[in-house]
Amino acid sequence: MNTLLRPLAAACALAAAAPALADADFARCLSELRAQAPAKGVATATFDQHTQALAPDMAVVGFLDAQPEFTTAIWDYLAGLVDEERVADGQAMMREWADTLAAIEARYAVDAAAVVAVWGVESNYGRNFGRRPLVQSLATLSCFGRRQPFFRGEFFTTLQILQDGHVDPAQLTGSWAGAFGHTQFMPSTFMRLAVDFDGDGRRDLVGSVPDALASTANFLARAGWQHGRAWGIEVRLPAGFEAAQAGRRNKRSLTQWQAAGLSRADGSPLPAGNDTAGLILPAGVDGPAFLTLRNFDALFSYNAAESYALAIAHLSDRLRGGAANFHTAWPTDDPGLSRAERREVQRLLIARGYEIGEVDGLLGTNTRRAIADLQRQLGLEPDGRAGRRLLELLRRPG
């Protein structure tokens, strides 16, 4: 759960800019932080233990200000996050952890499918925690860049977590911004909301699936989750609908939306009632439209992006056997690709001689630059996008 924008993987790094100067500044900054540690609840011995021989990782400072080089359409975003693989993996996890999830649902009144969907999107069910040592990233961001006060708080909190023995220090890696564990909590979120569900006395969001899933359920419960309720309703807009009426926070009752001419996407009437909902149009008035209820807002609070909340919401529906496609199609004739298809794109690019690094199904900057180069050669718009048409084009020999 990043509170920050996630730039595309491997965005430009300011990296090696004057390393010697950075090292000297970093040493000075660390000694300042060391002096503050006891007042922040961190013993000097703890501070020393985890910062000995620490070098800054200047790449994370680059991520802080990186602007995505390429934009991502909502249908591409969802095609990668909610694909058959993630649905099948999530359903397997729901079976494997059925007893734990039932106990979590009983205690926190949060639907298991929503918790598992967060897990699937945040770390691919524990397969991808992020590789950067948390202490190093947060110490660097505490000393360089434009959000040092925020990151200093996260840094000291991380040291408290280690001091209290919740997480194995060797396993404490995460995103460049400090989100870690199965469901990618920031350290401050850990302090507020992490729970020990397996009863070993540690709140271990890295080593314990029960702790991580229960902590996520606790987060969603505090964010106002309503057990057993839908996150939203896909709707059909009346002809001539003014897009200006949309907005997640522009709440009206279902009865009011009904009066405004909205129906369910299949044309049947909306349920009446005083439940309030916002309206989101992720691809404008010509794409799928959704009334979003309170559970959508709870998901939004996990990571403040409507596309993110929609991905979790849709994955949770699919884990319960819901349909793959929304009723209204995305307004494109060139649909997005699953991760399996993205890996195929990457293999085909490599076969054409592009050096794009690892075949990981993630369309990072290297892959997208290679695609843009190929598009240029073929006289196509070089948008760096991997869609259905590009895949079919790559599959053709030579």
Q: Which of residues 110-149 bind Ca ion (CB under 5 A)?
A: none
Residues 6 or more apart in contact with residue 397 via CB below 8 angstroms: none
Q: Give the interface segment with Ca ion, choosing from 54-62, 179-187, 191-199, 256-264 (CB under 5 A).
A: 191-199
**Can you say how many angstroms the Cα of residue 344 is from the centroid of all Cα atoms in its chain?**
23
Give the total residue count for the chain: 398
Considering only the stretches 10-18, 99-107, 209-217, 306-314, report the one whose residues sit in contact with Ca ion under the rule CB under 5 A: 209-217
Q: CA 378, 382, 388 angle in degrees (round to 5)? A: 80
Q: Which stretch binds Ca ion (CB under 5 A): 75-83, 196-204, 240-248, 389-397?
A: 196-204
Tracing tokens 């919401």 back to the chain, one arrives at 313
**Residue range at the interface with Ca ion (CB under 5 A); choices 4-12, 75-83, 206-214, 273-281:** 206-214
Residue closer to Ca ion by CB (options 219, 326) is 219
Exposed (0-12), middle (13-18) or buried (19+): which is 305, by Cβ within 10 Å? middle
- Residue nearer to Ca ion on the CB measure, 11 or 209: 209
Q: How far is the CB of 225 from Ca ion (least distance, A)?
A: 22
The reply to whether 202 sits near Ca ion by the rule CB under 5 A is: yes
Q: Is the dihedral of CA 164, 169, 171, 172 positive or negative?
A: positive
Of residues 209 and 345, the one with the C-beta less far from Ca ion: 209
Q: In the complex, what is the shortest distance from the CB of residue 205 to Ca ion, in angstroms, rounded to a whole number?
A: 9
**Which two tokens mark 378?**
């073929």
Question: Could you give the string, one character per residue 210-229, with x where binding to Ca ion holds by CB under 5 A and - elsewhere?
Answer: -x------------------
Minimum separation from the CB atom of position 204 to Ca ion (A): 5
Task: Give 264's strand partners.
Answer: 235
- Residue 196 near Ca ion by CB under 5 A: yes
- The helix (H) or strand (E) run that includes residue 178 is none
Query: Could you give the dihedral angle defined by the CA atoms of residues 104, 109, 112 and 118, in that order, rounded to the nearest 10 degrees?
Result: -100
Q: Which residue is nearest to Ca ion (CB)?
A: 196
Given the rule CB under 5 A, which of 6-14, 201-209, 253-261, 315-323 is the region that contacts Ca ion? Answer: 201-209
What secondary structure letter does DSSP report for 263?
Answer: E
| Residue 85 interacts with Ca ion (CB under 5 A): yes or no | no
- Smaller CB separation from Ca ion, 198 or 234: 198
Give the H/E segment covering residue 139: helix 134-143
Nearer to Ca ion, 153 or 207 (CB): 207
168 is an interface residue for Ca ion by CB under 5 A? no
Q: Which is nearer to Ca ion, 83 or 211 (CB)?
A: 211
Q: Write out the DSSP string of 191-255.
A: HHH----SSSS---TTT-HHHHHHHHHHHHHHTT--TT--SEEEEEPPTT--GGG-EEEEEEEHH
Stretch that binds Ca ion, among 80-88, 184-192, 200-208, 362-370 (CB under 5 A): 200-208
- The least CB distance from residue 396 to Ca ion, in Å, is 53
Q: Which is nearer to Ca ion, 152 or 202 (CB)?
A: 202
Phi, psi of 253 (to 5 degrees): -75, 160
Cβ 1 vs Cβ 179: under 8 Å: yes
Rounded least distance, CB 206 to Ca ion, Å:
11
Pairing of the two strands 232-236 and 173-174: unpaired
Nearer to Ca ion, 182 or 202 (CB): 202
Residues that bind Ca ion (CB under 5 A): 196, 198, 200, 202, 204, 208, 211
